[in-house]
Amino acid sequence: MTKVYLALGGNVGNVINNFQKVIEVLLQNERIKNIESSSIYETKPYGDVEQNNFINSVISFDTDMNLEKLFDYTKNLEKKIGRKKSEVWGPREIDIDILLFGNNIVKNKKVTIPHKDLINRDFVLVPLLELNEELKHPATKKKIKEYLLKLKHNYIVKKLNETILK
């Protein structure tokens, strides 16, 4: 089994409900075990697109799926929940990004692991550290918390009281 960390985000519709739908689908998958979720955060948009604030969270689980299968699975899950094509960093109902896939380092046409913007986003690093404060970046071997301390931009507006896992 491989430990996986996924970032969840969105700013269109009932985003927290969409996060809960993701969890419901994952719980039904026999190839996914030990699901955990971080707190939920309201965050400023990343990038140069004028839009509403986002809701973000990170989940982790163990799986025996390979990376390509998991990537396809998450993209299909986005569509199932209602994601429509959108511009880069634009508004969306749900966004599911694979942040880490065990200690694997992968770069191909489909996916880059660790996620290329992992170390640049507090709305990913903070919830990631909630799930595992000793986590290290697979490529650099630096602790994730070191990257958080060096960030120049803060996108987190506030931590919300809601939870994904019921």
pLDDT of residue 166: 66
What residues are paired with 54 via a beta bridge?
A: 43
Q: Thinking of the domain 2-159, which architecture would CATH place it in?
A: 2-Layer Sandwich (3.30)
Residue with tokens 């689908």: 25
pLDDT for residue 154: 86
Residues of the chain short of pLDDT 50, as ranges, are: none
pLDDT at res. 48:
65
What does the pLDDT read at residue 88? 58
Give per-residue pLDDT as tens, 60-99. Answer: 999 999 999 999 999 999 888 876 666 555 577 899 999 9
Question: Residue 109 has what pLDDT?
Answer: 87
Region of 128 (left: φ > 0; alpha: ψ -120 to 50; beta: rest) is alpha
Q: For the CA atoms of the chain, what is the radius of gyration?
A: 15
Mean pLDDT estimate for the chain = 90
Distance (Å, whole) CA 68 – CA 63: 13
- Residue spans of the domains in the chain: they are 2-159
In angstroms, the CA 63 to CA 49 distance is 35
Pairs from 147-152 (Cβ < 8 Å, separation ≥ 24): 147/118, 147/119, 148/122, 151/120, 151/122, 151/125
62 within 8 A of 30, measured Cβ to Cβ: no
For position 46, what pLDDT does the model report?
75
Closest CA to 123 of 87, 160, 164, 88: 160
Q: How far apart are CA 156 and CA 126, in angstroms?
A: 9
Q: Which residues contact 53 (CB under 8 A, 6 or more apart)?
A: 11, 42, 43, 44, 45, 157
